[in-house]
Amino acid sequence: MKKVIILFFISVSLLTACEKKEGYVTVQNKVHNTVLNQISWDNHFLGTSLLPGIKSQEATIIDKKESFPKNGVVKFYMQRGDNQVYLETKCSFSLDIDQHLLIVISDTTSVINPMTSE
């Protein structure tokens, strides 16, 4: 009987150690007269196109429990008229287990173009 109980606790420990957890990310475009295209956070694709004032669908980020919290910048193409430029946020955004993270990109969000930055 003791062996069965010990095996049970070992099995439960192994299952919880490999347990997958999730968090949720949404991006909102608050940049005036500008469309955000091909939006991603920490290599997770969030949407193809966001008009001003619109939020992306909530993306579920699933990974092993020990890999949280996750950190990443938002990457996107900013389009105004016929002009488009690739940008990344300067600051990183952190996502923890079961968190619903809303990232707002606005006129005052600090961004860089890594292709031209040194």
- pLDDT value, residue 66: 85
Q: What is the pLDDT of residue 43?
A: 87
- State how far the Cα of 97 lies from the Cα of 65, in Å rounded to an integer: 8
pLDDT of residue 1: 66
Q: Position of tokens 């002009």?
A: 83
Q: pLDDT, tens digit, for every residue of 2-16?
A: 665 665 556 555 555
Q: What pTM was computed for the model?
A: 0.79
Position 54 scores a pLDDT of: 95
Contacts of residue 63, Cβ cutoff 8 Å, sequence gap at least 6: 20, 21, 22, 70
The CA distance from 81 to 56, in Å, is: 21
Residue 15 is predicted with a pLDDT of 52
Amino acid in position 64 = K
Element at 11 (helix H, strand E): helix 2-17
Q: Which residues of the chain have pLDDT under 70?
A: 1-18, 117-118
